[in-house]
Amino acid sequence: MTGGERSIVSVEDLTLRFGERTLWEKLSFELGSGEFLAILGPNGTGKTSLLRILLGILKPNSGRITVRGQSPRCCAAIGYIPQQRVFDRDVPLRARDFVRLGLDGHQWGVSAPSRAKRERIDRALAEVGASDFAEAAIGRLSGGEQQRLRVAQALVSDPAVLMADEPLLSLDLSYQRVITELIDAHRKGFGTPVLFVTHDINPILPVVDRVLYLAPGRWAIGSADEVLTSETLSALYETEVDVLRVRGRVIVVGTPEDHNVHHVHEHERAPY
Amino acid sequence: MFTQLLAQHFVHTALLAGAVVSVICGAIGIFVVTRGASFAVHAISELGFTGAAAALVAGINPVIGMMGGSLSVGLVLGFLSLRGRERDSAIGAVLAFGLGIGILLLSLYQGYATEATNLLFGSIVGVSDGQLRGLAVVALIVAVALATTYRPLLFSSVDPEVAESRGVPLRALSILIFLLIAITTAEAIQVVGVLLVLTLVITPAAAAQRLTGRPGLAMLLSIVIALVSTEGGILLSLEKPWPTSFFIATISFAAYLIARVIDATAPAVARGSGRNKVTTVDTPSAVELSQD
């Protein structure tokens, strides 16, 4: 354990290229206990790819990553919350079955239900306020309720790190707030660092510790006040970009893709 | 007449074969339906027919040709692991071509047309003891494979993105499940025929999913519906000399209709006790949180 207690996630000199295109070079950062990192930037700059590298699914061209001092794939100690995607109405899965998949869904063989497992599932359901619909079929719940369950599913295995990829997309404002508060409360209570990919910083601005901004070919990391400035973003984009603060909201004007505007998100992977 | 037939050995063989096939069809059906792979099953089945027709022309056992046809399509579909519309159109294109070849092969075949008819519409009462043993062995393999991979299969079927993040090998499981689907389809063809495979692989699972949100219970109900349909169909065809496949299809469809009616009229009872509370929980908590 080189990083000691401070660093739970360590990313060193990470480089990713897709063919001729370099997404980022020498990307480095460390995440300490309970730290909340927002990953921002336009489409195609490798936000999701960074998460996939950390999950051990995608291999970077070079660089080193450790989660609690170990390589990512070995221990699967990561809770992952994807974008909300509505389940089919008839999926044969109750809310609690869905959460359980986060605990043992990757294990082979038959397993008898155990009390210990049940208690962990109940605890995760309670933590996200889903106890009331624990027995309901997931396909019959609202999108916001389903996303609550995704948070519970990510938390149920007591992960060392939480990763979320646009988890607020297509949720209404009140549910954006609910989900943000749940993630924030968990990282504060358990010291779990959070990597949160988003195209809109505003819903999570109050809880963010640092921002990693990925622009085409460049990146910057620091506090929101350091990174989300006209100077930094203009330098990243090599064009004049204005960052305005209006009523506590950050509005970015002049990027090739203004990310304060809600637009249809371009999926970085195949749709389901 | 009915009781006389019931004492016949071939009827017992048929009932046993029907039971064996129903169990794996009902079980695998749950994965077919959650993956939205109904059309793929149809393709696997029709290309099984092409394989069988090729075997007939070549003078070998059509069941072997059918297995070959189904498995190769299953393998390709599993390996491509396509999703949604892309998969639908790819399957449609391959299926149509395969059927074209099947028709050509049939026209070349000089033997009895009944063999082809049996493949298309099923011939459960013609199952031999040797065939029954074959069906049972294959079914056992499918059941063991399903039991050992159940959770990762379920995970990758309902939520591939998160399953992948947890280290579930999506592609390997996709190949596995399509191979199992292909094997099951080839089994079902021997009971209900190429054209009615869906009646055992899709309908029972679709009905079961309407009745429960519990994954284990859904599979059990699906198996029970498949069993009742097949055994009921065989027994009815002893009483009235109509095609067995017709009775099987009718019973399973009736089960599906009943499940839909139950679901529509009593969703809270049918889908788990939590559903009633859900509607009330949604709005107040949202309002409460947006006020603080």
Query: Tens digits of per-residue pLDDT, B93-105?
Result: 888 999 899 989 9
| Homologous superfamily assigned to A7-222 | P-loop containing nucleotide triphosphate hydrolases (3.40.50.300)
Q: How far apart are CA A76 and CA A92, in angstroms?
A: 26
A11 forms beta bridges with: A29, A65
Residue B2 in this model has a pLDDT that exceeds 80:
no
Which residues neighbour B266 within 8 Å (Cβ) at sequence distance 6 or greater?
A: none
Query: Which has the closest alpha carbon to B41: B150, B164, B169, B196?
Result: B196
Edge-to-edge order in the sheet of strand A194-197: A78-81, A161-165, A194-197, A36-40, A210-215, A218-222
Q: Mark yes or no for CB contact A133/B277 under 8 Å.
A: yes
Q: Which residues pair with A197 in a beta bridge?
A: A39, A165
Question: Residue A54 pLDDT > 50, yes or no?
Answer: yes
B166/A contact by beta carbon, under 8 A: yes
> Do residues A73 and B167 make contact, with C-beta atoms less than 8 angstroms apart?
yes
CB A237 within 8 A of CB A256: yes
Q: In the predicted model, what is the mean pLDDT of residues A18-22? A: 90
List the single best residue of A52, A73, A91 to mutate versus B (max B Cβ within 10 A): A91
Q: Which residues of B touch A56 (CB under 8 A)?
A: 167
Query: Is beta strand A218-222 parallel, antiparallel or unpaired with respect to A62-67?
Result: unpaired
Q: Is residue A214 helix, strand or coil?
A: strand
Q: What is the pLDDT of residue B116?
A: 74
Q: Is the pLDDT of residue A3 over 60?
A: no
Asked if A179 and A84 count as a contact pair (C-beta separation under 8 A), the reply is no
In angstroms, the separation between the Cα of residue B244 and the nearest Cα of chain A is 30
Residues 6+ apart with CB under 8 A from A207: A36, A180, A183, A184
Q: Residue B227 pLDDT more than 90?
A: yes
Give the nearest partner residue to A178 out of B159, B215, B289, using CB atoms: B289
Q: Which residue of B has its CA nearest to A178?
A: B289
- Using 50, 70 and 90 to split pLDDT, how confident is the model at B288? very low
B171 in A contact zone (CB under 8 Å): no
Tokens of B123: 């011939």
Is A8 within 8 Å of A68 (Cβ atoms)? yes
For residues B45 and A261, the model is more confident at B45
Is residue A150 within 8 angstroms of chain B, CB to CB?
Answer: yes
Low-confidence winner among A1-10, A97-106, B184-193 (lowest mean pLDDT)? A1-10
Considering only A70-84, A126-140, B96-110, B122-136, which range has the smallest mean pLDDT?
A: A70-84
pLDDT above 50: residue A219: yes
Residue B284 has pLDDT above 80, yes or no: no
A118: contact with B, CB 8 A cutoff: no
- B152/A80 CB distance under 8 A: no
Give SS3 for A69. Answer: coil
Q: What is the pLDDT of residue A248?
A: 84
Residue-wise pLDDT tens digits, B111-133: 777 777 788 888 887 888 998 99
Rg (CA), chain A: 19
Q: In this complex, do A97 and B214 lie within 8 Å of one another by their Cβ atoms?
A: yes
Contact B226, B204 (CB under 8 A): yes
Distances (CA, A) of B102 to A132, B71, B108: 55, 16, 10
Alpha helices in chain B (DSSP H): 2-6, 9-34, 38-58, 62-80, 84-108, 113-121, 129-158, 160-165, 170-192, 198-201, 203-211, 215-239, 244-265, 267-271, 275-291
Which residue of chain A comes nearest to B212, CA vs CA? A92
Interface test with B, best of A50, A90, A155, A166 (most B CBs within 10 A): A90
Which range, of B29-38, B107-116, B239-248, averages the lowest pLDDT?
A: B107-116
**A141-161: per-residue pLDDT in tens?**
999 999 999 999 999 999 999
Q: Which residues of A touch B164 (CB under 8 A)?
A: 55, 57
The secondary structure of residue A256, as a DSSP letter, is: S
A71 vs A190, higher pLDDT: A190
Residue B88 near chain A (CB below 8 Å): no
Q: Per-residue pLDDT tens for B68-88?
A: 999 999 998 888 866 666 778
pTM of the model: 0.87
In angstroms, the Cα distances linking A179 to A18, A171, A270, B24 are 33, 9, 25, 41
The answer to whether B274 faces chain A, any CB pair under 8 Å, is: yes
Annotated domain spans of chain A: 7-222
CB A37 within 8 A of CB A212: yes
- pLDDT at position B94 is 85
Most B CBs within 10 Å, among A85, A174, A177, A195, to test the B interface:
A174
Contact B282 A145 (CB under 8 A): yes
Which range marks the domain in which residue B198 is found?
A: 2-291
Per-residue pLDDT, A258: 53
Question: Are A135 and B272 an interchain contact pair (Cβ–Cβ within 8 Å)?
Answer: yes
Query: For a pLDDT cut of 70, what percent of chain A falls above it?
Result: 91
Nearest by CB to residue B271, choosing from A85, A108, A137, is A137
Residue B51, both tokens: 């394989």
Token pair of B291 as six digits: 């006020």
Whether chain B has a CB inside 8 Å of the CB on A88: the answer is yes
**Alpha-carbon distance A196 to A37, whole Å?**
6
Helix (H) or strand (E) holding A220: strand A218-222
**Which positions ≥6 away from A156 have C-beta within 8 Å?**
A99, A100, A102, A103, A120, A121, A123, A124
A213: helix, strand or coil: strand
Q: At a CB cut-off of 8 Å and minimum separation 6, what does A39 contact?
A: A47, A50, A51, A195, A196, A197, A198, A211, A212, A214
Q: What is the mean pLDDT of residues A41-53?
A: 91
Q: What is the ipTM of this complex?
A: 0.88
Task: Name the domain count of chain B.
Answer: 1
Q: Does B213 touch chain A (CB under 8 A)?
A: yes
CATH number at residue B118: 1.10.3470.10
Amino acid letter at B168? V
Interface size, chain A vs chain B, as Cβ–Cβ contacts under 8 Å: 157
Residues on chain B touching A92 (C-beta within 8 angstroms): 30, 34, 208-209, 212-215, 218-219
